[in-house]
Structure 1
Amino acid sequence: MKIALMMENSQAGKNAVVLNELQQVVAPQGDTVFNVGMSDENDHHLTYIHLGIMASILVNSKAVDFVVTGCGTGQGAMMSLNIHPGVVCGYCLDPSDAFLFNQINNGNALSLAFAKGFGWGAELNVRYIFEKAFTTGERGQGYPVERVVPQQANAAILNDVKAAVVKENFLDTLKAIDPELVKTAVSGERFQQCFFENCQVAEIEDYVRTVLA
């Protein structure tokens, strides 16, 4: 699995801690982490709005399989990601949130609170969240297991409803966003390395190159 970690300006100082915990959890099973957001306060400036654009490009181009993100409360990042087609982002405060989101909702992104409640031992909570998110076996198996059939059906229906509400295809949606917002979102060196080396949709790559030109 290819996992993108992206953090915005208010919590960039915690990137090293979060990145380390994520890598320690997923590297042993062969997953790859791309640190595509801000790595410290002096890095390429991003807000939670940019995170949604970045996540949508990476997911819809199949450059990554999953996105880990967040902000101070985790709420803004979650809302920013969920407005985009193809992205299903859960809100995660503790390990049980991560497990239940994966088993019941089976989305492709998690938003964490990196300020609220992020005190002593916070790195342990982050580690346990990642363990439940990435090392508990097959996703979408329901909880409790006897509820798997209706839960899988409802998750699929929700995806269909979102696709009906967001009527434009992804590229049309991306082109409708202020190009300056998109340019800022895709200007980071590590984002570009992840995207251009792993993008599987030529039309999306062409548009990103046009924005950057």
Structure 2
Amino acid sequence: MAADTKAAGSRDIIVIGIAGGTGSGKTTITRKIAERFGSEVTVLYHDNYYKARHDLTYDERVRLNYDHPDAFDTDRMIEDLARLKRGETIECPLYDYTIYDRSDQTLIVRPTRVIIVEGILIFHSKALRDLMDIKLFVDADADERILRRIVRDVKERGRSLDSVISQYLQTVKPMHEAFVEPSKRYADVIIPEGGMNQVAVDMVMNRVQYHLEGRDR
């Protein structure tokens, strides 16, 4: 989402990274922040930076590993985030889950005083981490995460139950253990129980409010 406000100066911008495993609740926390602060917040989703795979057939795209760092065009996200921090408007790519490929459409994103970067692997890249002022890792039990993923992918993304379970066992779970879980060590704060942890959510909200009121300066 983007705000139609005048460009914020880089000194006025705070970048919050929200990472965690699939179904951990990071999107819930991101949504709560965005709903509370509205036009003061811009969100960049790492998922929108999945690499374009127009050269592959649908069946070939389905079989790709989407939970490995190489699945993302993180270099472009780093460039876009750096531009936003400089007060520049960007053209963000969009990903279409129904076709397992990048959409032909893009989204105009303007800089705001609070930028949230969300994704399972946003802490994997040091260059991306270095652009963040606050790094949050949303933690949740593995059983809860797989159940949430099933509900999301079946209801919202039109996937079959068998395909979701197969993908989880073949790529999601091993990639989580290899890349997502180890990235937890880079977090400034670890939030257990995801978006249901109201104490932690309130702490994040207060930090954002602190920044917007100009008390950082």
Calculate the TM-score normalised by the size of structure 2: 0.36
Larger fraction in strand = 2
Structure of greater relative contact order (alpha carbons < 8 Å, 6+ residues apart): 2
Calculate the TM-score normalised by the size of structure 1: 0.36
